[in-house]
Structure formats: C-alpha cells, structure tokens
Amino acid sequence: DIQMTQSPSSLSASVGDRVTITCQASQDINYYLNWYQQKPGKAPKLLIFDASNLETGVPSRFSGSGSGTDFTFTISSLQPEDIATYYCQQYNNLPPGGLTFGGGTKVEI
C-alpha cells in the first residue's frame, strides 16, 4: 500500500496566521490527493480534491498544491472555526483496495 506521511501531527497557531500542512506519498500518486476537515465529534468533510481544487462552498482561505509525492495544504488566515483535524487521502491504487489516509494534523489555536 501507498503510505501517506502527514506533518506536523499537531500545531498551534493564532487567529490570522498562515497555516501549512504537508503530506508526502511513498510513491508517485500524480495529483490523486484530497484533503478533509474533521471537527470534534463530527464526520469528515471534503475540502480539496485532486490536489488543488476547492470543493464548492469551501472558503477561499483554504488551498492545496503539489503533485507526484509532495503536497501542501494551506489556510491563509486561520479562523476560530478552523479548529479541526485535517487529513490527506490518496487514490492512486487500481483496483482501489489500498485507498489510504494520512495520519492527520490537529490544528489548535
């Protein structure tokens, strides 16, 4: 299976700060990378698909970039409602028996 290494595992930042999370794949996954937000006690929510495409309705302060093995997720100006755990997820495998997620990044203020 493709391993997804997400870092950092947690971070603390101030309101208005720029926050960056990285996700590294153990092999080339092209642009097949998504990002999710999970608030405490809630189900995950898709934010970014195909590495850099913002899901409809998601604020523009969220963005994603990268391809191949190295990917970045950015919150340009951290807001109190962004407190959550963020996960990357790859879908390079065919058949999809090995869809994998990163370990998550907990964002606190």
Partner 1 sequence: EVQLLESGGGLVQPGGSLRLSCAASGFTFSTYAMSWVRQAPGKGLEWVSGISSSGGTTYYADSVKGRFTMSRDNSKKTLYLQMNSLRAEDTAIYYCAKTAVHYDSVWGSYRFKWFDPWGQGTLVTVSS
Positions in 38-97 near partner 1 (CB under 8 A): 38, 42-46, 49-50, 55, 87, 89, 91, 94-97
37 scored as a contact of partner 1 (CB under 8 A): no
Is the CB of residue 17 less than 8 Å from the CB of residue 78?
Answer: yes
Does the protein bind partner 1 through residue 101 (CB under 8 A)? yes
Cα–Cα separations (whole angstroms), residue 104 to 44, 75, 87? 11, 15, 5
- List the structure tokens of 97: 């028996």
For residues 105 and 86, the answer to whether their CB atoms sit within 8 Å is yes
Stretch that binds partner 1, among 15-23, 28-36, 63-71, 75-83 (CB under 8 A): 28-36
Question: Token pair 């990268």 is at which residue?
Answer: 66
CB 45 within 8 A of CB 36: yes
Count the residues of the shown chain that bind partner 1, applying the rule CB under 8 A.
27
Nearer to partner 1, 43 or 80 (CB): 43
Among 19, 21, 32, 86, binds partner 1 (CB under 8 A): 32
Q: How far is the CB of 33 from partner 1 (least distance, A)?
A: 10
Residue 7 as a binder of partner 1 (CB under 8 A): the answer is: no
**Would you state the structure tokens that stand for residue 63, as one six-digit string?**
């963005």
